[in-house]
Structure 1
Amino acid sequence: MDKRQAILEAAFTVFARRGYAQACVKEIAEEAGVAKPTVYNHLADKENLFRHAMEAAADAVRAENLAAVERMRDPGDDLRAALEDGACRMLQVCCSERARALRWLTYAQVAGFPDLIEAVQGRTSHGLADALADRLARLVLSGRLRPCEPALAAEQFLALLTGPLEARSRLGTRKVPAAEVREVAAAATDTFLRAYGAAAPEAG
């Protein structure tokens, strides 16, 4: 890991632990194992450090989500199981400590960083929706899902996941148990396939 990446990861850890106002560059430098001037050499000031640390964390969450969606590329014979597995993995990413801290910091600092919500969501939610739409389009082309608009189907599938999750987590204030994550994934998959699953061929 290079120094800049180490600094950004350490910064996110400290910001998540302390909040933006209470975090100090000295503690971030200690967390990263570098000298304080090294932090300034790479990121200039605390505001710039915060922005880049948030973007790096959002990129990490996106990479984890894209890995979950990628598993849907070849669903095998059991489409329901593949979709449910991908849904469960996306929810696990959403429930991770990093993702929860990212959401908390984004909304806590919206007054001082009004463009932060768009920057974070552009790296996480939007990128995930595009990747999922691509996977669903391939399933439509192969006849595994009925003809539909993949972008809309992806949007609705994600809504089926995030809506119940937000309610169960009380908008991020409570960690959702693994059993509940699986329950949400199963229910979302069932509802999605009822709407978009390809009709079984009629017996002739």
Structure 2
Amino acid sequence: MAGASARGRIDKRQQILAAAFAVFARHGYAQTCVQEIADVAGVAKPTVYNHLADKGTLFREALLATADAVSSETLAAVHTLRDLGNDPRPTFVDSAYRLLQACSSERGRSLHRLAYAQADDFADLAAEIQQRTAIRLREALADRLARLTLAGQLRPSDPEVAAEQYLALLTGPLETRSRLGARKIPAAELRTIAEAATDTFLRAYAPG
């Protein structure tokens, strides 16, 4: 019974955080009120405060929970880079496309827009989000590229440098075309970015 109660409390907290992120993304930090978050979550306002002490804590925890969710999607995309077969390009393109979808989703764009908009008031939040998303992604990609190199499917190189360069090829065009998160990039355009980045990367790192 105690386990069910604890599970219910965790679920309720997640429900509140999801509602909080949706409301913050819609209105921004200053214009959001806790009552609206409670309404969207389907709970009483005191219940929100029972789980999270104040609006600032709500904002921080909602963004960090979203960062972890976005990170799970990008890491899942990286983990598909396993056996490349005779032609590595299709696997790399599909992985890159999934990664770009996660990064350019409404949730991903709202996450970074909110974090940087409130950087003055939440000094460490943007850095923590970067740690949980971009840095965690780069480390996972470097690990995957190292494994592919050991398997002879990529030429010998520094996997951290290779990961950094591949991500730059992907995220550079993404940031430029999205105009700092203001525009949703069509799927066909994401596929084009994934293909161009992969072609450039494999010209440098495919085994000779």
TM-score w.r.t. the length of structure 2 is 0.93
Runs of 4+ in 1 over 6 A off after TM superposition: none
The alignment yields a C-alpha RMSD, in angstroms, of 1.0
Match of 2:18 in 1: 9
| Aligned counterparts of 1:75 and 1:105: Cα–Cα separation in 2 | 38
Question: Alpha-carbon deviations, 1:80-121, whole Å to 9, x = none?
Answer: 110111001100111101000001101111111111110110
**2:157 aligned with 1:144, yes or no?**
no
Aligned residue identity for 1:73:
R
Q: Which residue number corresponds to residue 90 of structure 1?
A: 99
Deviation, 1:74, is 2.9
Asked whether the equivalents of residues 38 and 48 of structure 2 are also in contact (C-alpha less than 8 Å), the reply is: yes
1:104-183 correspondence runs (5 A): 104-183=113-192
Residue number in structure 2 paired with 1:78: 87
The amino acid across from 2:63 in the alignment is M
| Normalised TM-score (structure 1) | 0.95
Identify the residue that residue 43 of structure 1 maps to in structure 2.
Answer: 52
Percent identity, please.
65
| 1:24-39 equivalent positions in 2, closer than 5 A | 24-39=33-48
Q: Using the alignment, how far apart are the partners of 2:15 and 2:179 within structure 1?
A: 32
Q: Name the CA distance, whole Å, in 1 between partners of 2:178 and 2:41.
A: 31
2:83 aligned with 1:67: no
Residue 78 (structure 1) shift: 2.7
Unpaired runs of 5+ residues, structure 2, are 1-9
Deviates most, 123-132 or 70-79: 70-79
Q: Matches of 2:123 and 2:82 in 1, distance apart?
A: 36
What residue ranges of structure 1 are gaps of 5+ in the alignment?
Answer: 200-204
